[in-house]
Amino acid sequence: MSIKSKSLIITVAIVAMLGGYWLSSMIQNNNDLNTQSSKERELAEARANYSPIQGNLLSPARKIIVPSLIKDNGNTFTIDDLTGKWHFLFFGYTHCPDVCPITMGVLAQAKKIATVNNYMFPDVVFVSVDPERDKVEMLTEYVQYFDKDFIGVTGDEKLIKAFTLQMSVVYLKVQEEGSSTNSYLVDHSAALLLLNPEGKLVAYFNPPHNAQTILKDFQTMVNLGN
């Protein structure tokens, strides 16, 4: 066999080896991509099953006991005020510089969108965690600034504390250095609490809040039948 023929055979063999390696690599890469895509799909499904909303679902729904608090119209606030319809509860205070007015504004915006589109929307209850300063008259003006149908609730500090403990809502008074006794901030949970028509706590909608997400997540909860 001539040197030229041997060289040709060797060249063909090398090309065949390279081609086989390339084909094997392509198949392996495709398999890796398919595996990765499959894992991503499984992860997305797991996330959706774990919490299909921007927040946390409660299963089973949590039964609550409402202490004798006061609505902004002066009437007693009871569990009857939280049954028969869906409700959002938000715990805050009227002197709050940012989180409370932003959240209440987003809720008002979400309700307007729902109303225009004939969507169902929960009643909104704002519960003060600063009963020392948030008197009934102040609450009325505050909540109705955002929407005339929003409800404000206040009451005895110990009863407010008992109510928040049931809801796993935390808050803490923070005295500003060098300020007067009546000048302080209150750190508090920023979640929206969703109660079903039975008056049971079914979900926490976590911040950051926006109107479209609130509407989507609420509809998800309605569809889940909680």
Neighbours of 62 (CB within 10 A): 14
Q: For residue 204, give both structure tokens.
A: 């926490």
Q: Are 107 and 7 in the same domain? A: no
Q: What is the pLDDT of residues 85-119, one digit of tens each?
A: 999 999 999 999 999 999 999 999 999 999 999 99
Average of per-residue pLDDT across 65-81: 95
pLDDT at position 33 is 55
Q: Are 205 and 121 in the same domain? A: yes
167: domain CATH number? 3.40.30.10
Q: Are 117 and 197 in the same domain? A: yes
Look at residue 214 and tell me whether its pLDDT is greater than 50. Answer: yes
Q: What does the alpha-carbon distance between residue 206 and residue 224 come to, in Å, rounded to a whole number? A: 18
Look at residue 46 and tell me whether its pLDDT is greater than 60. Answer: no
Q: What is the pLDDT of residues 178-199, one digit of tens each?
A: 666 678 999 999 999 999 999 9
Give the total number of structural domains in the chain. Answer: 2
38-42: long-range contacts at Cβ-Cβ below 8 A with a sequence spacing of 24 or more?
A: none
Q: Are 3 and 73 in the same domain? A: no
* Per-chain mean pLDDT for the chain: 85
Domain with 211, as residue range(s), is: 55-224
Instruction: Report the alpha-carbon angle 97-194-104, nearest 5.
Output: 25
Q: Are 182 and 79 in the same domain? A: yes
Look at residue 10 and tell me whether its pLDDT is greater than 70. Answer: no
